[in-house]
Chains A and B, each alone.
Chain A
Amino acid sequence: MAGIAVSTTINGDHAEFLCHPDETLLEVLRERLGLMGVKEGCGTGDCGACSVILDDRLVCSCLVLGAEAEGRQIATVEGMAQGDRLHPLQQKFLEHAALQCGICTPGFLIAAKDLLAKNPDPTEEEIRFGLAGNLCRCTGYDKIVRAVQDAASVMRGA
């Protein structure tokens, strides 16, 4: 294939791939690199299921081209747990039953990770506002908000 050769860093590991110029980062992550935690809900930036952190910004990977990943740092849900030890957000999502079907969960986890990195002690309003780009058809959001609040206090060591 006459593709574009891209060299990037994903969850701290060096990665290289070839992609077509019109392939999205979402397609590359799932179909070329097998990172199935990145979900496609809408493909048009509306649902947040494909959220990843690109350098230090939360983005929808469906609205980034694979070729744009050259030389960048990408964080996906696959990088959150340390071996068998879940990230506090993952642990609290389980404890609070903040997921049902689960398709939105990786996007919420990454978005919440980005939120807490920038604001370790958010108010409920700040959490709801910060996660407004992530849609969930199952939970009604309340349990997600509680899980993020609880994880935030664990992460602050409170």
Chain B
Amino acid sequence: MRYIRPSSLEDAVGLLAEASGKAAILAGGSDLLVRMKGGFIEPDLIIDIKAIDALGRITESDDCFVIGAAVPCAVLGENTALRHAWPGVVEGAKLIGSKQVQGRCTIVGNLCNASPAADSVPALVAAGAKAVIKGPAGSRTIAVEMVPVAPGKTSLAPGEIIEAILLDKRPPHSGDAYQRFTPRTEMDIAVVSAAVNLTLDDQGVVEKARVALGAAAPTVLLVEEAANILIGSRVDDSTLERLAEVCSGACRPIDDKRGTVEFRKKVAGVLAKRVALTAYQRAGQK
């Protein structure tokens, strides 16, 4: 095995594209090194992307936040502007692991690990976040929900690296929220989770909505029908009841030791109601 720490993204893409054996990108390592330790993966080449300057920064343009692929989640939580604009995304990212894991783990690693239970992904999907991808054939930008295609599998082509995640700047009266159900409050994997992102008009009526569910299907679910229920409402009780019903119905979860299908469906609806209310309150304050 070799370990290389390139200082430019072009070099990293070149190394990845030309690697003869199995090559792996190393960001925070909180999935990769665990899988190596377990013997599930034996890469011939590890490409550490943390020395590539641009990947380690959060920058802002007029219309979006650019979160470099090597930015650890702890830094997301320390960024006041991002926390203000996207509290739900930050809350998802901050739920990953412990203090120790937070100092290393990245949202891009969370996305590329492609676990259906990944905590930052539902909020990113609800936020309409985009992934900027660099590969041997050039750059492309896709919606984050297009990255994971099955548990442990992504749509990235050989040699492709995610460079950054883009989050739009917010119109007034916008808010998002994320919650997961876990038996413990800390250091646990989501049994099921939900994220809602709303923009209201000046009268407090929902104008735009996106709803995403985690650990409810092989990949994160974007539930358009649920969003349509929220649009045009003031997130009143009857809207919430219908939202819960649709979210429960949209789930295609598995039965396992952490939760049955029935339990996951029920709780997906309950969480969707709670996060819709939180997102609505947050949107109303801005």
Which residues in A have some Cβ–Cβ distance to B below 8 Å?
4, 20-22, 24, 43-46, 48, 51, 54, 57-60, 62-65, 67-68, 70, 111, 114-115, 129-134
Contact = CB atoms under 8 A, between A and B. Distances in A.
Interface stretch (B59-67, B94-102, B236-244): B94-102
- Chain A CB count within 10 A is highest, among B2, B98, B104, for B98
Given A21-B1, A46-B187, A68-B48, A132 B33 contact: no
Given A21-B2, A46-B187, A68-B48, A63 B98 contact: no
B37 interface: yes
B218 to A, nearest CB: 24
Interface of B: 1-3, 5, 26, 28-30, 33-34, 36-38, 46, 48, 50, 72, 74, 97-101, 103-104, 185-187
A65 B186 CA distance: 25
A43 B34 CA distance: 8
Contacts, number: 84
Contact of B103 (A44, A54, A70, A115): A54
Query: Mostly helix, strand, loop or mixed at chain A's interface?
Result: mixed
Contact of B37 (A43, A67, A115, A129): A43
Contacts of B72: 57
Contacts of A63: 28-30, 33-34, 100-101, 104
A133 B74 contact: no
B30 A45 contact: yes
A157 to B, nearest CB: 25
A45 B100 contact: yes
Contacts of A134: 98
Contact of B100 (A4, A20, A24, A48): A48
B2 A45 contact: no
Nearest to B2: A21
Given A67-B48, A68-B50, 12 more contacts: A4-B3, A43-B37, A59-B100, A62-B37, A63-B29, A63-B30, A64-B104, A68-B5, A114-B99, A132-B98, A133-B99, A133-B100
Given A57-B103, A58-B99, A21 B29 contact: no
A65 B29 contact: yes
Nearest to B74: A57
A103 B179 CA distance: 34
Contacts of A67: 3, 5, 48
A60 B3 CA distance: 19
B103 A58 contact: yes
A133 B34 contact: no
Contacts of A132: 98-99, 185-187
